[in-house]
Structure 1
């Protein structure tokens, strides 16, 4: 039995002494102050074990105050204090006492009625035939409320990694447009990915339907399982994945709601994760509010940037429609010559495919820095300057970035020759695509219970 003892004092810092804890466990304590009645303890436990919290006023007589189950590698415990009396607490771990309730109500903070994922409220300009035509949802995996709810739990569950330290949300953080603010994401064992994590906002609106920067995944359903199996990112086999998910009682309830039975399969996991990702759709940006009023809500600078985007800048050629996505095309944007990362060419082995990368939606682009497949640009200003003056004359450079536009190899790279004010205006317009409603919506947030109280 492992024991950790620590003191919670009314005004003094929290002191801690500990025996060696089980592997994957650590404790951080945060004292209260003169105005709070609680100190706090954060128990990190990648084993998701059961602990007993005990209290004492004299370090001799101890009483149990609760049995605590760690459900997603972290538990936050409030430590009550008494009026000026020193109070001691300790955590005890017993490998023979590992039973605790762990159904949906115990483990998760989900609403009594499932959130609306299947039929989100979107403005009229995002319900047109053009926009519906961009939707890559397959006929056999339409978004349902129960399916996306299951997908949400899986998306935030660190059990989907080999050592319970990384979830899908680790590399696709809501506050950053469901992307990673680091150039390269950190995997379960501390290794780094070779590319920047793409933002997920409005990801269902991609006509080509392929995923990853090099489009190696034919569908979103294929894509969501690949990071789980990647030796750097999450490190599980599909057999291990199914076994770990099947072991949690709350998943039996969620799978039954979503698919009619409690059976866990990698196909069902794939479908649920894809449903959740497709449900993350933006429609409440300043741009969206401006469409029905001819952008009367825009500043003069933002409207100038909009005119550059659709006109002189030619940006809409690769970021078209009100979802700012390409049509049925993949592009080489002339980042370098030769390409260190060959993109699509690295998958096909064809010289003619080198330097081609997926073009994602620009929705929430302000939040998804750094930019490009390798995160080479830290700011939108750097991105604009690249397209203004830095496009390289690669043999496969897409026609949209040549002057005059033409076949690959014909013409020189475009130079926009924007002045400082015009570049600032273009950046200001791009920021009108920011939609914090979709990044802060509770139905897309982490659903796990971390507070023992």
Structure 2
């Protein structure tokens, strides 16, 4: 027998803001006073159905409405007018719940534009187009990326339905994680920092993860789902769980022509959504057609250091996407390396300490930095490249002087501050605030 919960609407006292256990499979509920009246906040990873019932005398209960969370959480408004009433949630009395797209999701009638984003001219050049790793077999479509967006935020993708892809790739943090290591579905920590996803489609090498163990983005998106620490699912279990949700029938049909759910389609949709996360509205972008007259004196000094021989940063972060071209680097973080990077995949000593170089776009938002999140600030990153590069045998030539020693920039404090100021011009806050990249689930009961 599942627990039935009573909530006296006009008696707040100790019930307000206090979680109430509902049973081993049914999460918790809060009774809360809000500006508009009263609400029940249901936290239920299992997405069970609940019947909201009410009474004036506790002798006979009237059924109000059956509610169901669609992604682990739901706010149910309560009527506070009229005579004093009691409300309760009774899962035993729950009726059928419509789980179609309109009930579960807040999606626009006309799909957002994912397939052909409006970008400034400098991001449409042949050089930039050549960096695009979108495969011919999986072009980004509006319907495919819409499906991918829902999957990206769906906690069903983890074993206990408590985390989603977005848990470790948060929009407000440049689609990265502000924690040094991310927490998995059961509380375990990942071995590396979650890198930002901005402009992922422009990684020319096409391989993913810090050690590039995934040959394509399509391969990459399925690995965290199956990882024992991160999400803990099997692909067969994933397909069964996603197939059980009626709203996915509509989304898969729109994206692929039929309602069939399989891991290949899940992979393709997630990859389409991730590739659609493209930045083109930073202060830097606005400055390109203006010859950067919109940048401050300090920011332009930092740009000169970044792009010129004094800093030499653009040798590893080139083009207007600030990506490494067809290269992977050892940047001399330590000697010896605790985490051997690419060598853990290739088993070659010559690959020890080589890690993927992501785009610097939105770098201000993606702290902490490096594969292990060792640097908390951009100032610390600049200090490292200024004077801290280690003389590892595999150190990349771009970070060596002609005599083979680690390069020292010897920047003044003012120059270092200018370089940081320039890096912050790559910030595009509009990306994280864009509705088409936001959580699409409906959390307010209708």
TM-score (norm 1): 0.95
Matched, 1:128 2:125: yes
Give the corresponding residue for 2:296: 299
Question: How many residues get paired?
Answer: 443
Per the alignment, in what secondary structure is the counterpart of residue 29 of structure 1? strand
Conserved? CA contact 2:50–2:66, under 8 Å: yes
Give the corresponding residue for 1:48: 47
Distance, in Å, in 2 between the alignment partners of 1:99 and 1:65 is 13
Give the corresponding residue for 1:337: 335
Give the corresponding residue for 1:435: 428
Cα offset, 1:346, TM superposition: 1.0
1:10/1:116 CA distance change after superposition, 3 Å? farther
Cα offset, 1:308, TM superposition: 0.8
Cα offset, 1:10, TM superposition: 7.7
Distance, in Å, in 1 between the alignment partners of 2:172 and 2:21 is 37
Per the alignment, in what secondary structure is the counterpart of residue 403 of structure 1? coil
For residues 283-323 of structure 1, give each alpha carbon's deviation from its aligned partner in whole angstroms, at most 9, with x where no partner exists: 00000000000011001111011011111111101000000
Matches within 5 A, 1:42-191: 42-82=41-81, 86-94=84-92, 97=94, 99-191=96-188
Cα offset, 1:41, TM superposition: 2.3
Conserved? CA contact 1:210–1:220, under 8 Å: yes
Give the corresponding residue for 1:417: 410
Conserved? CA contact 2:66–2:94, under 8 Å: no
Per the alignment, in what secondary structure is the counterpart of residue 413 of structure 1? coil
Distance, in Å, in 2 between the alignment partners of 1:173 and 1:192 is 17
TM-score (norm 2): 0.96
Matched, 1:28 2:30: yes
Give the corresponding residue for 2:5: 4
Distance, in Å, in 2 between the alignment partners of 1:415 and 1:88 is 71
Distance, in Å, in 1 between the alignment partners of 2:95 and 2:304 is 63
1:400/1:24 CA distance change after superposition, 3 Å? farther
The range that moved more, 57-66 or 431-440, is 57-66
The range that moved more, 392-401 or 18-27, is 18-27
Distance, in Å, in 1 between the alignment partners of 2:21 and 2:139 is 51
Matched, 1:259 2:222: no
Conserved? CA contact 1:10–1:81, under 8 Å: no
Distance, in Å, in 2 between the alignment partners of 1:442 and 1:435 is 14
Matches within 5 A, 1:318-357: 318-357=316-355
Which one of the candidate residues 213, 218, 229 is aligned to 1:216?
213
For residues 56-101 of structure 1, give each alpha carbon's deviation from its aligned partner in whole angstroms, at most 9, with x where no partner exists: 3444443222110111011112223237x6543211112x746311
Cα offset, 1:436, TM superposition: 1.1
Cα offset, 1:17, TM superposition: 9.1
Give the corresponding residue for 1:374: 372
Cα offset, 1:42, TM superposition: 1.6
The range that moved more, 96-105 or 161-170, is 96-105
Per the alignment, in what secondary structure is the counterpart of residue 67 of structure 2? strand
1:18/1:181 CA distance change after superposition, 3 Å? closer
Conserved? CA contact 2:189–2:229, under 8 Å: yes
Structure 1 segments, 4+ long, off by >6 Å, are none
Conserved? CA contact 1:2–1:21, under 8 Å: yes
Conserved? CA contact 1:5–1:18, under 8 Å: no
Per the alignment, in what secondary structure is the counterpart of residue 373 of structure 1? coil
Structure 2: unaligned runs, 5 residues or longer = none
Which one of the candidate residues 234, 240, 245 is aligned to 1:237?
234
Distance, in Å, in 1 between the alignment partners of 2:130 and 2:307 is 21
Conserved? CA contact 1:344–1:357, under 8 Å: yes
Matches within 5 A, 1:266-281: 266-281=263-278
Distance, in Å, in 2 between the alignment partners of 1:18 and 1:398 is 56
Cα offset, 1:8, TM superposition: 2.8
Distance, in Å, in 2 between the alignment partners of 1:116 and 1:17 is 40
Distance, in Å, in 2 between the alignment partners of 1:431 and 1:187 is 30
Q: What RMSD in Å do the two structures reach over aligned CA positions?
A: 1.6
For residues 134-174 of structure 1, give each alpha carbon's deviation from its aligned partner in whole angstroms, at most 9, with x where no partner exists: 00000010000000000001101110111111110010000
Conserved? CA contact 2:66–2:95, under 8 Å: no
Give the corresponding residue for 2:315: 317
Conserved? CA contact 1:403–1:414, under 8 Å: yes
Distance, in Å, in 2 between the alignment partners of 1:120 and 1:156 is 21
Give the corresponding residue for 1:407: none
